[in-house]
Amino acid sequence: MTTVELTRFRVLPENADRLLAARPAMLADFRADRAGFVSALLVRLPGDEWLDIVTWASPEDFAASREKGANLPGIAEFFSAIAELVSAEEGSAVP
């Protein structure tokens, strides 16, 4: 079953460009290293908040990705631009 990861976080205004610059390398690292990674959509919200919507082939793929954390440079750079985690949720995509 397709799993959707919803992660809401804050980025300081002075780090927004850094976050965006790190995004392509982060996605490349996910494609290379994360089994079951399907897609990701980054949404800029009001108040210096962002929402990352990531689709995984299965809940197991998402769990394995979480265990790896920021194990590659592109992922680490993207994560380092984040000031605060607001929320993290997981759900199942409904056809």
pLDDT of residue 95: 84
Round to whole Å and give the CA distance between 72 and 6.
Answer: 21
pLDDT in tens, 71-88: 999 999 999 999 999 999
pLDDT in tens, 26-71: 999 999 999 999 999 999 999 999 999 999 999 999 999 999 999 9
The CATH number of the structural domain formed by 3-92 is 3.30.70.100
pTM: 0.94
Return the sign of the alpha-carbon dihedral for residues 26, 40, 37, 91: positive
CB 75 within 8 A of CB 27: no
